[in-house]
Every structure is written in structure tokens, then in C-alpha cells.
Structure 1
Amino acid sequence: MKIASLAFVLSACLLSPFSNADTHLDAIQSAVDHNSRTSSNIQRDQYRHPAQTLNFFEVTPSSTVVEISPGGGWYTEILAPLLAEKGKLYAAHFPTNTSSEYYKNSRANFVKKLADNPIYNRVVLTEFAINHSEAIAPANSADIVLTFRNLHNWYSQNGDEALLNAYKQFYTALKPGGILGVVEHSLPLAQKDSDWLKSGYVPEELAIKLAEQAGFVLEATSDINANPKDTADYKHGVWTLPPSLRLKEQDRAKYLAIGESNRMTLKFRKPLTP
């Protein structure tokens, strides 16, 4: 783990009500091992390192967490049992008022998933879009906001403005001292000046710069989800790699050997005072 600012981290540990010397890693691992998880999702743990990632973002069984754009619920399957007894989980999915059939179907499938298992009974379903006025959670209520591999989708819609709008919504939902956890496909520095917009990868410095513009402070980064085998120079972008495997059988063994993408893992904090 690389600490962005030692002085800030020390002060955060002393002042933030969210700091906790205990790691809660055992509780998180128990949620990762929960029998409600689907087998296809479990197979991806080797690439996504969910226990270590959630622990890095300081998620505890009593946290109030907002999961942004949960898709099919990969992380929801872990967060729901983890937070079921003492915590709270908001799942900010695609908005109901949308003309996109993909968004409608994705949300409908997620709603069905929540209804099919009582482990999700306490999940609060909300809405998120970069230009949406509905709150992802009540203002100043969340301990942690989490987004996994979403930045490139928002950025492709309207560049800096789209990503900044997203960050501002996260900032509003978080309590002072709360954490924003970001995992995203990381563009290599050598490709910063390339035509990367449709690649699915995002420059780490851009992700950080816009979060800071929204008021966040970068507290730490981690290599938990790094993959040095990923060269990020594929014709079909990140979707060339698993799980998408856009080329299907063409060079399938090659891309399976690389694995899922190289990812930045960033921990930001909302200051205790503006």
C-alpha cells in the first residue's frame, strides 16, 4: 500500500470516527464464503480479491455502504450478508425512468435477485446516473461509497463533467470523514496520450484529479487488484480479456492466461471539515 500523505493519514486516524484499528478481515471473509454466492461469481475472486479490497476500504459489519451501479450484484452478494445484522446497504442501480432497454433489463434482473433470497431483505434499492437528481442515499448518511469498474462508462458519456458529477453525488451522500472506494481499469502511463477513451481503461491521475476537484482527499492507493500481465493495448480494449473475451475462441488461452484487467484501487476520504 502506498500512502499518499502520511500527515493526513495520521490525523485521520486520530480524528475520524470511521478509523478502526481492527481490520474486520475475518468477518469480510465469512461474507465472501457465504453460501448464497453464485459459483460463477466465486470463480472471479482470484482476480477481484474481494476480502482484501473491502478491508482496504475499511468496510465493517456495522458500516452504512452505498454500492454504485451494482450491475448483476457481484459485490452485493458479499456486502449483503456482511451488513445484514448491524450495517446498511444502499444499492444505487440504474434509474427506473430510462429509455435504455439495457438499463431496464439490468435493473429488473437485479430486483429479481433481491427478491429471490432473504439475505437481501434489508438492501435499500436506490438510483444513480451521472445526470440524475435522485439521491443515492440520504445526504451525509453513508460511511462508505463503493464503485467498481464504472468510471470508464461515465467518462465515455461526457468526459470530465460526467465523472465530476458522479463524484459530487458520492460526496453528498458521505458523512464527513467517510470513504470513497474506487476500483477501475488502469491505463498505463505510456498510453496516456493515446486514443484511450473507448478502451475501457482510465488514467489513474485523471481519476484522482477529478475526485479531488469534487472535494475528496486521496488517502491511499493499493496494488491489491494490479495485474502486470495486462498490457492494455488490445483492439477491443479491456473487453478482450476475461470475463468478456470479446474475441471468443480466438487466442482464448492467451487472454485467459493474462486474466482480468490491471486495476487501480483508490481510497479517498471526505474531509471532516470542508
Structure 2
Amino acid sequence: MRRYLLALAATLGFAVTSLPADAAVADEVENCAACEAVLDLALANPRREGDRARDTWRHPQETLSFFRVRPGMTVVDYMPSGGWWTRVLVPYLGETGSYIGLNPDVTAASEGWKSYANLAGTLPEKAAGWTGVPAARIGAYNTDGLPPALNGTVDRVLIFRELHNLKSEGWLARELNTARALLKPDGLLGIEQHRAKADAPDAYADGSKGYLREKDVIASVEAQGFQLVGKSEINANPRDPANHDAGVWTLPPNFRLGEKDRDRYAAIGESDRMTLLFRKRP
């Protein structure tokens, strides 16, 4: 782990003067006390300058710790979009780890989803520019183009605020089945999702507003061969009433209503979110 920290620091352009003593490395690798230092370096990367304002709401250190993500793992980042998590995960996983961006199968999707096609042809070069890591080290696929050899090789599948899209488009069961096939026997699925109130009506919690009821998410995921092993309030925001007519996009960073009540929505902050961890069932 000490060598990893030194290599990462050199890659990111930092000088590291205080690292764990060699005698303690074996124990620290076991309990991953050093993972925090590795992630601190990745989060301090100057390439993340434009991302850092959202750390307050996305809690990357705490979230990846809860999802038990470690350097050297193979991790799928589901629907990486603009690369916010890509810029964290690629340097954190390091040269011994593997980052894989994954988009859904959109071959029969509506026109609005066509830009999500051909992730293999677009993400590696973008991610290389975002992170400084060679494009050859960035895996990228749509689920209809996954090589069968990847099945059973992934340590973590992470889905950040995308389940509402999968539910709205009718893809949820299909994509969760793909995630389950990719995971190792002891693999974990981490989900962060905008959270509707427990008594929200079906019409509000159907995905069209961005919010889903936690009990529904748990039931849907467990129905596809997973078992809930942990819940966290890391990304909770009790100020969010989760009842916006224009959906979750009313809140920052989208501000769908423009200047209308902007100060009020800014004071609420980003959405209330559930953070759930599931294990693949045998």
C-alpha cells in the first residue's frame, strides 16, 4: 500500500511526506486504514477542481467506504455520464484495479437515449482527458456489447442516481440481471438514489420525477437475486420535501425552474438520497 500511495502521489503531482511505516503495511492492507489516504489523494487531484463543490452533497469518501470499494478492485460505474465519479474512481482504483463504465442497451430506446450508445467508442478518450490515465486502461461498454468473459469478474457495481431512469424506461430488471451476472460470487451492488417519501403516491414515485420509494427499490433489487446488507444516511438531506412538481431537477445543480425561487431551492441543497448496499445471492 505504501508503494501504491507513492505511485499515485507521483501521478497526481503531489509530494507525500507522511506514509504508513512498512511494518504496519500488512495490517493496514487488511483493514484498509490506508484506503482513506489513497482516496484523499485522488479527491485532491487538481483535475477535479470543477467537481469539488459537489463533494459536500455526494460525500465520495464516506460513500465509497460504505460500498467497501478498495484500490485494486474491478468496479463498474453504471451510466458515468459527465464523469464525476470517473474522476474519483480511476485514480483511486489505481494501476492494479480496473474501472469499467457501463451504459444500458439503448438499441430499441427512444431518440433521447441514442446519445448513450457506443460508450466504448466515446468514454475511454474522454476519461483519459479527465484523469490523465491512458485510454487503454478505461473499460467501456453498453450492456448489449459486454464480452461474456467479464461475467463473474467484477467486485463492485455502483449505480449513482440512475435507477429512476431504468424504472421509467422499463429496463430495471434487465440491467440488474446484467449487474448480477458481472459480479463475483461475493460481489456487492452499491446504489445511491433520490428518495421519495415513504407515503408518496405511485404517480410521483414511478421514476418520472427522479424520486423512488426506498421500500420499492429494495424490493425490486432483491427480486433480481440480491440481498440487502446495509443502509446508510450518508447522502440524506432532511430539508428536501421531495414533492417538487418539476421533479428532483428543481433542486441544485439543475435548477430546472431557472431563477424562480432559486434561493429557496439553493437553501434546500441537493436531493435527499438513499444509500443501499446489496450482496449477490448464490
| TM-score between both structures, scaled by the size of structure 2 | 0.80
Query: Residue deviations 1:67-109, cap 9 Å, x none?
Result: 1100010100000111122211111136685774664278576
Counterpart in 1 of 2:193? 184
The alpha carbon displacement at 1:120 in A equals 4.9
Counterpart in 2 of 1:118? 132
Aligned residues: 247
The separation in 2 between residues aligned to 1:29 and 1:260, in whole angstroms, is 23
- SS of corresponding position for 2:81: coil
Whether the 8 Å contact between 1:49 and 1:224 is mirrored in structure 2 is yes
Residue 145 in 1 paired to residue 157 in 2? yes
Q: In structure 1, what residue type is equivalent to 2:101?
A: A
Residue 238 in 1 paired to residue 252 in 2? no
The separation in 2 between residues aligned to 1:208 and 1:21, in whole angstroms, is 28
- The match for 2:92 among 76, 79, 82 is 82
Q: In structure 1, what residue type is equivalent to 2:163?
A: L
The alpha carbon displacement at 1:36 in A equals 1.9
The alpha carbon displacement at 1:196 in A equals 2.9
Check 1:20–1:200 CA distance in 2 against 1; reply closer, same or farther (3 A cut): farther
Q: In structure 1, what residue type is equivalent to 2:186?
A: G
- SS of corresponding position for 2:47: coil
Residue 104 in 1 paired to residue 115 in 2? yes
Query: Residue deviations 1:136-163, cap 9 Å, x none?
Result: 97100000000100000010112xxx21
Counterpart in 1 of 2:177? 168
Gaps of at least 5 residues in structure 1 are 1-18
Residue 25 in 1 paired to residue 40 in 2? no
User: Which protein is bigger by CA-based radius of gyration?
Assistant: 2
Check 1:115–1:22 CA distance in 2 against 1; reply closer, same or farther (3 A cut): closer
The separation in 2 between residues aligned to 1:165 and 1:101, in whole angstroms, is 20
Q: CA RMSD in A?
A: 2.4
Give the % identical residues. Answer: 37
Which structure is richer in relative contact order (CA contacts within 8 A, separation 6 or more)?
1
1:174-213 alignment runs, 5 A limit: 174-197=183-206, 198-213=208-223
Gaps of at least 5 residues in structure 2 are 1-28
Counterpart in 2 of 1:71? 81
Whether the 8 Å contact between 1:196 and 1:202 is mirrored in structure 2 is yes
